[in-house]
Chains A and B, each alone.
Chain A
């Protein structure tokens, strides 16, 4: 079983739609959670961190359920520019003083005009 699992998609949605991505992680020792965005042939870039109480950044809302080991990302009012691959990432502490980051394989989103 993969440590971080995502639906690969693709999700094809019309402009203005709301779309939700889900992610599950297997290691309960995971400490922090992130969503990254990756455009074709580019490096991953941080979209947002995910906090236990849930958090919002404009049209993007992230939720974390530690009991179910589940993370979600909701995009409202989709724009053409949101087309990208969205990567779910968790990190875990590695003694004596750093963190290991584990990536899901990503969910592809295509927003259609």
Chain B
């Protein structure tokens, strides 16, 4: 009963390097989300995917790309990392096909990324 699984847990990058954060859920959820969390800023939405095959920008999409590979997996890519992207990244999912509007988000454990 894994829920939402994120990898890696920690990562240090140098400015300009690229990396992909992986996320998978086993709850048959339709929608998946990527958030970043910074001190004093709360969780901010980077990208979301309403369903397999669709992705949309959230509040802070610049510098990121996403891929909804299939219903289970939603990856976040940093093409050229910058120090401003140092943050904690959370993947989340919600909504089986029968879900109501009151369906909550389920989060992965997070990825702590430092860009030097």
Interface string of A20-33 (1 = CB under 8 A from B): 00000000000110
- Chain B 77-112, CB within 8 Å of chain A: the 1/0 string? 000000000000010101100000111111111101
Give bound CA distance, A93 to B102, whole Å: 11
Assembled-state Cα–Cα distance A100/B50 (Å): 10
Which residue of chain A is the closest to B44 with respect to CB atoms? A103
Q: A43-B107, A43-B109 are in contact. Are A98 and B101 (CB under 8 A)?
A: no
- Which residues of the partner chain B approach A45 to less than 8 Å between Cβ atoms? 107
Contact-residue bracket for chain B: 20 to 34
- Chain A positions within 8 Å of B74 at CB level: none
A-side contacts of B107, CB under 8 Å: 43-45
Could you tell me if A93 and B101 are in contact, using CB atoms closer than 8 angstroms? yes
Q: Count the A residues whose beta carbon is within 8 Å of the partner chain — how many?
A: 26
CB distance from A3 to the nearest CB of B (A): 10
Within the complex, the shortest CB–CB distance from B109 to chain A, in Å, comes to 6
The answer to whether the Cβ of B41 comes within 8 Å of any Cβ in the partner chain is yes
Q: Does B42 contact A (CB under 8 A)?
A: yes
Instruction: Tell whether, in the assembled complex, residue B110 and residue A43 are in contact, meaning their CB atoms are under 8 Å apart.
Output: yes
CB distance from A103 to the nearest CB of B (A): 4
Give residues 75-101 of A contacting B (CB, 8 Å). 87, 89, 91, 93-94, 96-101
Interface residues of A (CB under 8 A from B): 8, 31-32, 34, 41-46, 49, 87, 89, 91, 93-94, 96-101, 103-106
Given pairs A46-B105, A99-B95, A105-B40, 12 additional interface contacts (CB within 8 A): A32-B102, A42-B109, A43-B109, A44-B90, A46-B104, A49-B104, A89-B105, A94-B50, A94-B56, A98-B50, A99-B31, A101-B92
12 contacts between A and B (CB under 8 A): A32-B101, A32-B102, A46-B105, A87-B43, A93-B101, A94-B50, A97-B51, A98-B31, A98-B95, A99-B31, A101-B105, A103-B35
